[in-house]
Chains A and B, each alone.
Chain A
Amino acid sequence: MITRRKSRYVLIRSSEPLDMNSKADFGSFRNCMKDFMGERAYVSASMQMARQTAANTFIIRVNRGTERDAMLATAFIKELNGRKLGLLTLRMSGSINALMTFQNQRDANGALTKP
């Protein structure tokens, strides 16, 4: 029997621009998450980078049931790759499209992504 992996996507906004497609920034983020979540929770979450949607906004994918731990861990990250910043978890969804729709709506109304 093949079981489908069920995921949750989390939309995160940073106070500073980040390049989460680079090893340096994403590696630092991953290490911080591992530090805050602990090994067991981190392995359970199986976190992956899903998409960088803007200079300071990105989406990560975690296993369903671990998204709340991931959200809590992002609240404690105040430095990445030597830079001071803050991470805000804006929305959580079962699909990336829903998060992209949310982001596009917010961009139309302003105050989501920095230029």
Chain B
Amino acid sequence: MESFDIIRTKPSDKKALARLLGFKKILVEGEDMEITERHEDVQGARGAIRIAKGSQSALPSLIKEGSIAGAILDGLEIDKKLMLAMKDDNKILILNASSLTTSAKPQRIHAFFKMRNIVSYAMRIKCKVALASLAESEEELVSSMQLLEIANMLCRNEAYARKMISALGEII
């Protein structure tokens, strides 16, 4: 099973870090991919993998651009119509594992239930979902084994959990 991750901090040796954490490849923001929050950035896109990031009101217009491979949700609310649109356009919804691992306990439990609902709906409509750490520092990094367990916690289905952590391989 190959697993992938996205991080927002620049490591000194990306390949060594991926090997250490058990990932096939780690995508680094600014090197392997760009995370865009504005329409203007998307239209200027060339070459690198581009992921949209925004709230559920901003994402519908961003994901319509052909160069966008997936979307990261800001917050924990997502419109079901948006998920259906992403499924039809073959875009990947990327969930942020850091919102679970770095929150305080009450917020974490709330975030867990919200994410589980998103994953549950995605499973039902067969929308592609990926789980990534989006780590902004060394403390927020997780290994592939830990990411698999978090995915398992969200979907309670081992096979789907493995799909979630390997889904980013489709956009590379």
Question: A111 interface residue, CB < 8 Å from B?
Answer: yes
18 residue pairs A–B, Cβ–Cβ below 8 Å: A15-B139, A68-B152, A72-B150, A72-B153, A75-B142, A75-B147, A75-B149, A78-B139, A84-B139, A86-B140, A88-B21, A89-B143, A89-B145, A90-B21, A90-B143, A106-B20, A111-B19, A112-B20
- Closest A residue to B139 by beta carbon equals A86
A72-B153, A76-B101, A90-B143 known; 9 new pairs, CB 8 Å cut-off, are A15-B141, A71-B146, A72-B149, A76-B108, A78-B101, A86-B141, A88-B21, A88-B141, A111-B16
Q: Which secondary structure dominates where chain B touches chain A?
A: helix
Asked if B19 and A75 sit within 8 Å, CB to CB, the answer is no
Determine the distance from Cα of A110 to Cα of B19 in the docked complex, in whole angstroms. 10
Partner of B139, one of A13, A68, A85, A90: A85
Q: Total A-B residue pairs with C-beta atoms closer than 8 Å?
A: 62
Q: Which residues of A contact B19 (CB under 8 A)?
A: 106, 109, 111
Within 8 Å CB of A85, what residues of B? 139
- Chain A interface residue number, banded: 20 to 34
B residues at A contact (CB < 8 Å) = 13, 16-17, 19-22, 100-102, 108, 137-143, 145-147, 149-150, 152-153
A74 close to chain B: CB less than 8 A: yes
Contact A75-B102, Cβ < 8 Å, known A86-B138, A86-B141, A111-B16: no
Chain B hits for A112, CB < 8 A? 20
For A112, the closest partner residue in chain B by CB is: B20
A78 to B140, CA, bound (A): 8
Question: A residues near B, CB below 8 A?
Answer: 13, 15, 68, 71-72, 74-76, 78, 84-86, 88-90, 92, 106, 109-112
CA distance A76 to B141 in the complex (A): 11
Tell me the nearest residue of chain B to A13, going by C-beta: B20
CA gap between A111 and B18 in the complex, in Å: 10
Rounded to whole angstroms, the CA-CA distance of A104 and B169 in the bound complex is 30
Select from chain A the residue with minimum beta-carbon distance to B153: A72
Residues of A within 8 Å of B147, CB to CB, are 75
